[in-house]
Amino acid sequence: MKEKKFLNSFDDPEFMHSREARIIRIMSEYLEPEKRFNDLEIKHTVVFFGSARIDPEGADERNAAKYYHAAADFAFSLANLNKEIEHETGERFYICTGGGPGIMEAANMGASRAGARSIGLNIDLPMEQAPNKYISPELIIKFHYFFMRKLWFLYQAKAIIIFPGGFGTMDELFETLTLVQTRKMEKIDIPILLYDKEFWSTVINFGKLVECGFISPEDMELFHFFSDVDEGIEILRPRLIELIKNVHKYLEMKFPI
């Protein structure tokens, strides 16, 4: 008769994947990324959100492939901007995405094209989601819980870049805006840039929200539209330098994320 092997609780896969161990799994998705970022001295990110369903070779009436190429070009220019940021602040930032295809792949590719490392915060999903080939291998982090992944999207972010997308992109946009609006995010002046004003104004009637009193007129100043690489860089450059220079000030504020 084979002798039963007794395991420590933390070495027991059956326990670690049980309902009772959920809090341990949640803690792991906070602590392991934190350790990895600390080990690699990663303090600042520029986060790209957008559709996973955009094919760079796609040819359809939507012409959605243009967003893929725009995201890649913008990430490339941002990665090159790092040299100036590092000269001004002594620190650098990393392009960060959700790690999958579409806009996420485009942003990681743009960073790779510039010779820069980039981050992919991947997640278990039934479709669409596998790490793209342009993420730096040591910076692929896989999540099970959406809310822990969202925390790491925003915790080190110094700018949020949002390209057209579906439910997931809308969720990320409105959660970020809500955190800034309610001052639950310490970096209340973080730049939030939306690419293609025509798309966003068609999909979301921001003016109607103001008209109905559901948001304040000044809430429209929480984000900026941009339509090309140069315009986006012009908006971001001074704000990135300011945020990275003053990061320690935010740590002392009353409402950390």
110-143 pLDDT, tens digit per residue, is 999 999 999 999 998 776 568 899 999 999 999 9
Q: What is the pLDDT of residue 58?
A: 66
CA distance 238 to 34: 27
Q: Give the Cα-Cα-Cα angle 51, 57, 58 (nearest 5 degrees).
A: 65
How many other CB atoms are there within 10 angstroms of residue 132's CB atom?
A: 23
Instruction: Using DSSP, state whether 140 is helix, strand or coil.
Output: strand
Residues of the chain with pLDDT > 70, as a percent, come to 91
**Rounded distance, CA 140 to CA 51, Å?**
19
What one-character DSSP code corresponds to residue 62?
A: T
What single letter denotes the amino acid at residue 95?
I
pLDDT, tens digit, 9 for 90 and up, residues 65-112: 899 999 999 999 999 999 899 988 899 999 999 999 999 999 999 999
Bigger pLDDT: 17 vs 149: 149
Distance of CA 176 to the CA centre of its chain: 10
Which is it for strands 45-49 and 157-162: parallel, antiparallel or unpaired? Answer: parallel
Task: Please give the mean pLDDT across all residues of the chain.
Answer: 90
- Find tokens 């955009």 and name the residue: 54
Question: Rounded to the nearest 5°, which phi and psi values hold at 195?
Answer: -85, 130
pLDDT at 26 over 90: yes
Residue for token pair 């409105």: 174
Q: What domains, with CATH codes, occur in the chain?
A: 42-251 (3.40.50.450)
Question: What is the pLDDT confidence band of residue 253, given thresholds at 50, 70 and 90?
Answer: low
The per-residue pLDDT for 60 is 58
Side-chain half-sphere of 177: how many Cα atoms within 13 Å?
Answer: 20
Virtual torsion, Cα 238, 240, 242, 248, nearest 10 deg: 180
Residues 191, 239 contacting (CB under 8 angstroms): yes
Amino acid making up residue 110 = G
Instruction: Say what percent of the chain tops pLDDT 90.
Output: 73
What is the predicted pLDDT for the residue at 132?
Answer: 93
How confident is the model at residue 113, as a pLDDT?
A: 96
pLDDT of residue 125: 77
Better pLDDT: 45 or 253: 45
Nearest C-alpha neighbor of 107 from the set 146, 68, 145? 68
Mean pLDDT (whole number) for 198-219: 96
Q: Residue range 239-249: average pLDDT?
A: 83
11, containing H or E segment: none
pLDDT at 8: 82
160: which strand partners?
47, 192
> How far is the C-alpha of 2 from the C-alpha of 19, rounded, in Å?
29
Number of helical H runs and strand E runs in the chain: 10, 7
Average pLDDT over residues 243-248: 80
pLDDT at 251: 54
pLDDT reading at 188 higher than 80 = no
pTM as predicted: 0.90
> 142, exposed or middle or buried, with CB in 10 Å at 0-12, 13-18, 19+?
middle
Model confidence at 257: pLDDT above 80:
no
pLDDT(1) > 50: no
pLDDT at residue 197, as a whole number: 96
pLDDT grade for 42, boundaries at 50, 70 and 90: very high
